[in-house]
A and B are shown apart, each in its own frame.
Chain A
Amino acid sequence: MATSTQAPRQAVTPTSRRDQARRALPWLLGLVALLGALGLQSQLYSGQERTVTTIFMFVAMAEAWNLIGGFAGYASFGQVVFFGLGGYFTAVAMSQWHLTFWVSLVLSGIVGALFATVIGIPLLRLRGHYFAIATLGVAEGMREVVINLPGLTGGGAGITVPTVGRDATTPYLGNDGFYLLFLALAALSVLIAGLVSRSKFGYGLRAIHQDEDAAAAMGINTTRLKVLTFALSGFIVGLVGSSYAFQQVTIFPERLFDVDITVLMVIMVVIGGSGTVLGPLLGAVVLQFVSEFLRQHFINLHIFILGAIIIVAVLLLPQGAVNYLREARRTGEYSLLANVRRYRL
Chain B
Amino acid sequence: MTSFLQATAYGLLQGGLLALVAVGFSLVWGVMNVINVAQGAFVVLGAYVGWEMHEWIGLDPFLGMFVSAAALFVLGYAVQRFLINLVVNGPIFITLLLTFGLDLLLVQGMNIVFSADYRGIRTSYASNSLTLGSIRVPVGRLLAFALAVAVTLLLVAFVNRTRTGISIMATGMDRGAARLMGIRARHVYALTYAIAAALAGMAGAMIGTVGTFNPSAAGGFTLMSFVVAVLGGLGNMYGALVGGLVIGLVEAWSGQYLPGTWVYALAFLVLIVVLVVRPTGLVGRAYYTGRQDV
Chain A residues with Cβ under 8 A from B88's Cβ?
343-345
Assembly CA distance A267 to B100 (angstroms): 10
Assembly CA distance A196 to B96 (angstroms): 27
Q: Select one of B33, B85, B90, B109 contacting A318, CB under 8 A.
A: B90
Evaluate contact between B104 and A141: CB separation under 8 angstroms.
Answer: no
With contact pairs A148-B260, A303-B108 given, residues A141 and B89 touching in the complex (Cβ less than 8 Å): no
A286 within 8 A of B: no
Chain B residues with Cβ under 8 A from A129's Cβ?
29, 33, 35, 92
A225 within 8 A of B: no
| A residues 313-330 touching B (CB-CB < 8 Å) | 314-315, 318
Evaluate contact between A343 and B264: CB separation under 8 angstroms.
Answer: no
Interface size, chain B (Cβ < 8 Å): 49
With contact pairs A310-B100, A311-B98, A343-B86 given, residues A266 and B93 touching in the complex (Cβ less than 8 Å): yes
Evaluate contact between A138 and B104: CB separation under 8 angstroms.
Answer: no
A191 within 8 A of B: no
Chain A residues with Cβ under 8 A from B102's Cβ?
307, 311
User: How far apart are A151's CB and chain B's nearest CB, in angstroms?
Assistant: 12
Chain A residues with Cβ under 8 A from B293's Cβ?
128
User: How far apart are B179's CB and chain A's nearest CB, in angstroms?
Assistant: 10
User: How far apart are A171's CB and chain B's nearest CB, in angstroms?
Assistant: 36
A336 within 8 A of B: no
Which of B89, B94, B219, B261 has the most CB atoms of chain A within a 10 A radius of its CB?
Answer: B94
Using CB atoms, name the residue of chain B closest to A76. Answer: B93
Interface SS of chain B: helix, strand, loop or mixed? Answer: helix
With contact pairs A148-B260, A304-B109 given, residues A133 and B104 touching in the complex (Cβ less than 8 Å): no
Evaluate contact between B86 and A140: CB separation under 8 angstroms.
Answer: no
Chain A residues with Cβ under 8 A from B189's Cβ?
345
| B residues 74-118 touching A (CB-CB < 8 Å) | 83, 85-94, 96-98, 100-105, 108-109, 112
7 A-B pairs besides A141-B267, A344-B85 with CB distance below 8 A are A126-B275, A141-B264, A270-B94, A301-B112, A307-B103, A340-B86, A345-B86
Could you tell me which A residues sit within 8 Å of B by CB distance?
A: 69, 73, 75, 77, 122-123, 125-126, 128-130, 132-134, 136-138, 140-141, 144-145, 147-148, 259, 263, 266-267, 270, 300-301, 303-304, 306-311, 314-315, 318, 340, 342-345
Q: Enumerate the 8 nearest inter-chain pairs by beta-carbon distance, A residue then B residue, closest first.
A: A307-B104, A141-B268, A310-B101, A343-B90, A144-B265, A307-B105, A311-B101, A304-B108
Could you tell me which B residues sit within 8 Å of A by CB distance?
A: 29, 33, 35, 83, 85-94, 96-98, 100-105, 108-109, 112, 185-186, 189, 219, 223, 226-227, 230, 259-262, 264-265, 267-269, 271-272, 275-276, 279, 293
